[in-house]
């Protein structure tokens, strides 16, 4: 993580590496969403930031206290209904209603302390980095392609009850507490699956049933997972081309 809103810096959060630089008066990153430009909102010049996004037509915005964003609401977003990407991290939000003005929003990342999100009110979403909150709703209603699920940790320590859309093509699971994938819905279109730092998980036996189209599997830093699971799955699943399980790589022919 960079040190404050300096001329240059990096933000590393939830698996994304964002090079951030001040270009003229404003903080910009060009690499977060397939090359589109996002501008950093800064509380000390929030009105100017909004005007710059409107003037230049930037597709995204981001915010973080180290880069000058100290708001407790996302009200500013209501003035930018064209936005397709938002990314806010290490913040404490009391109100997120401004999000719901973004009816073209494709990429969502709003982390740490925040009110519940009604994802059904953001029907254009295709990619979510979701730090799970029990009262979030509507993810299953979306035509998502990519989902990065963080800190799903219910008291029953199971994926039972987690509803996800069948449209998913990529699913990554980070720091979750279930011991198996039992309870996940069948996701027939997922081609890429990642499981990271889920310290209780010890079996991948349900993967052929849940993810019949799987081509690439990565399991990393899951200490109870047998390394042999990757080889077994590659042999069992005709479409699985590559498995990386606990540092052992297995590829198909």
> Residue 14: pLDDT above 80?
no
Element (H, E) at 46: helix 46-56
Chain segment 47-94, per-residue pLDDT in tens: 999 999 999 999 999 999 999 999 999 999 999 999 999 999 999 999
Alpha-carbon distance of 214 to 191, in angstroms, equals: 4
Last residue within a domain, chosen from 123, 138, 153? 138
Chain segment 201-235, per-residue pLDDT in tens: 999 999 999 999 999 999 999 999 999 999 999 99
Task: Please check whether residues 66 and 127 belong to one and the same domain.
Answer: yes
Q: Which residues lie across from 63 on neighbouring strands? A: 88
Task: Please check whether residues 34 and 97 belong to one and the same domain.
Answer: yes
Task: Please check whether residues 132 and 150 belong to one and the same domain.
Answer: no
* Helix, strand or coil, per DSSP, at residue 80: coil
> Residue 6: pLDDT above 50?
no
CATH of the domain at 199: 3.80.10.10
The mean pLDDT value of the chain amounts to 91
Q: Can you give the pTM of this predicted structure?
A: 0.90
Give 47's contacts (C-beta < 8 A, 6+ positions apart): none
Which region among 28-32, 59-63, 97-101 has the lowest average model confidence (pLDDT)? Answer: 28-32
Task: Please check whether residues 127 and 198 belong to one and the same domain.
Answer: no
């Amino acid at each position: 993580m960079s040190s404050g809103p300096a001329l240059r810096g990096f933000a590393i959060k939830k698996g994304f590496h964002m090079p951030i630089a001040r270009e003229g008066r404003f903080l910009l990153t060009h690499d977060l969403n397939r090359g589109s430009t996002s501008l950093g909102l800064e509380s000390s010049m929030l009105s100017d930031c909004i005007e710059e996004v409107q003037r230049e037509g930037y597709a995204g915005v981001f915010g973080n206290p180290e880069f000058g964003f100290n708001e407790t609401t996302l009200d500013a977003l209501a003035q930018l209904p064209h936005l397709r990407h938002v990314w806010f991290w290490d913040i404490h939000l009391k109100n997120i209603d401004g999000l719901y003005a973004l009816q073209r929003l494709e990429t969502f990342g709003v982390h740490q302390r925040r009110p519940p999100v009604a994802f059904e009110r953001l029907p254009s979403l295709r990619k979510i980095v979701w730090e799970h909150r029990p009262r979030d709703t509507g993810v299953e209603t979306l035509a998502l392609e990519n989902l990065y699920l963080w800190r799903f940790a219910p008291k029953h320590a199971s994926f039972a009850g987690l509803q996800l859309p069948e449209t998913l093509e990529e699913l990554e699971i980070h720091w979750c507490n279930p011991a198996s994938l039992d309870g996940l819905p069948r996701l027939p279109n997922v081609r890429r699956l990642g499981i990271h730092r889920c310290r209780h998980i010890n079996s991948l036996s349900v993967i052929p049933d849940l993810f019949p189209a799987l081509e690439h599997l990565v399991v990393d830093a899951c200490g109870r997972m047998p390394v042999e699971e990757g080889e077994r799955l590659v042999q069992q699943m005709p479409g699985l081309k590559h498995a990386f399980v606990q540092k052992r790589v297995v590829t198909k022919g």
